[in-house]
Structure 1
């Protein structure tokens, strides 16, 4: 059995992968809130897609790829099959999309829906991980311990179920951040548990040469650019979309507007007459002409006295 290393670059790759999983979870949870508050089907589909890309693409798959940057095996270079690597990314996004659809569409999102969605999403996340591992090309034979594989799949299912429950319940900013931190721990825990299940055996001690495929660094630049622009696009979509407070304020202002606001309304008082003196405004002249409301007086003829 050949010695393998999961932290070739120290804590740089696991730390960065955890940060990406938290970022993806954070954006996905915010998109899930917008999904719950969407006013029509088109809006729900839009926010569902963004949430799935954020959680499945950034929070899960990109985290997996960055963590693999620190993986190495003694005595052999590592290459990756580009097609299988892309397929693993697609599996992650599709599985999260299916899970979110199960809990988001319908009259009620009960516990049965959450468990079913978590089961499908979790199994999809596990399939993503082991598809990505199958994309590795090296001078050796990879084997997995069945016990840790089962544990990693169980972690994936539980993490996905909790993530879907959080997507339906969290609203406050502090709760969203806390949930994203917990989801990051769960995703990384699943990944490194699955990696611990792996062992590499040299098939031929004299085998030399470089396996076919792309290096991790060759795929890092396009993936990094895609993640950067994807995160910026998600952030812009979240900032540009109206919130519940915006809709409530717009509805309040609309209700305050009278449809006949351009037509002068009668107050029940006679209109002020034009002033006979050009230097006195009509309103002041009207005030001089109108008697004080409520005043009373009596006139007595005292000429006979």
Structure 2
């Protein structure tokens, strides 16, 4: 049977806190990216790596805060620890690739498009890999069109935020870029969740996994 999905079990609390975490990670990461463009090339890799870690971990934290408000009727949800932390690694690595491209090639033209695309794909990959780590007594299916829309949102907003970070015009530009990045992550997340259908089995015991604290 089809399980009733509730993505807002705590009302607006989890979406708002998740968005704030995404903005915080984006602010730190994009500020590091901006800083990397102002320092000598010998210091640039360190700043870009720090920015990648901040954005990647911010995306990951946002996802699992949002998932605290996610419930499925008739089945508990548990998480596989290995898959959960693999999603964190994927987010940091793929976001890092995009940021390094922009950091060395500039936030314009082909470099911006490529960096934004890879960063957006990193956001989407983290989300769907994290979802794949869920263990429950049922099966997850996705609407292909809505999934495609969620990926497009992530790519477009990530590209816009990297462009804003690359302008190097002060603190307000970094804040604006972080707000856009927060929208990229949360918009992608909830659009992806809208693509989800859950078919509850009702016969087997849910697999054992770890629920992230």
Structure 1 length-normalised TM: 0.67
Kindly tell me: are residues 109 and 16 of structure 1, through their superposed partners in 2, closer, same or farther at Cα, counting changes over 3 Å?
Answer: closer
Kindly tell me: are residues 163 and 210 of structure 1, through their superposed partners in 2, closer, same or farther at Cα, counting changes over 3 Å?
Answer: same
Counterpart position of 1:162: 160
Among 138, 141, 148, the alignment partner of 1:140 is 138
Counterpart position of 1:96: 95
Q: Does the alignment pair 1:81 with 2:77? A: no
Query: Greater relative contact order (Cα 8 A, min sep 6): structure 1 or 2?
Result: 2
Counterpart position of 2:4: 3
Distance between the aligned counterparts of 1:200 and 1:40, measured in 2?
49
Q: Deviations for 1:130-174, whole angstroms, at most 9, x for unmatched residues?
A: 100000000011100011000001011112211221221143222
Counterpart position of 1:129: 127
Distance between the aligned counterparts of 2:29 and 2:52, measured in 1?
7
Secondary structure, in 3 states, of the residue corresponding to 2:205?
coil
The answer on whether the counterparts of 1:92 and 1:124 sit within 8 Å (CA) in structure 2 is: yes
Q: How does 1:1-305 map to 2 (within 5 A)?
A: 1-41=2-42, 43-58=43-58, 60-106=59-105, 109-203=107-201, 205=202, 207=203, 209-215=205-211, 219-220=212-213
Kindly tell me: are residues 25 and 109 of structure 1, through their superposed partners in 2, closer, same or farther at Cα, counting changes over 3 Å?
Answer: closer
The answer on whether the counterparts of 2:162 and 2:177 sit within 8 Å (CA) in structure 1 is: no
Higher gyration radius (CA):
1
The answer on whether the counterparts of 2:107 and 2:167 sit within 8 Å (CA) in structure 1 is: no
Distance between the aligned counterparts of 2:177 and 2:107, measured in 1?
19
Secondary structure, in 3 states, of the residue corresponding to 1:63?
helix
Secondary structure, in 3 states, of the residue corresponding to 1:201?
strand
Distance between the aligned counterparts of 2:123 and 2:177, measured in 1?
18
Cα offset for 1:177?
A: 1.8
Distance between the aligned counterparts of 1:69 and 1:90, measured in 2?
21
Secondary structure, in 3 states, of the residue corresponding to 1:199?
strand
Structure 2 length-normalised TM: 0.94
Write out the 4+ residue segments of structure 1 that deviate beyond 3 Å after TM superposition. none
Cα offset for 1:109?
A: 4.7
What are structure 1's unaligned runs of at least 5 residues? 221-305
What are structure 2's unaligned runs of at least 5 residues? none
Distance between the aligned counterparts of 1:48 and 1:68, measured in 2?
29
How large is the Cα RMSD of the aligned pairs? 1.4
Distance between the aligned counterparts of 2:120 and 2:195, measured in 1?
18
Q: Deviations for 1:190-221, whole angstroms, at most 9, x for unmatched residues?
A: 10000110010023x3x253421012xxx22x
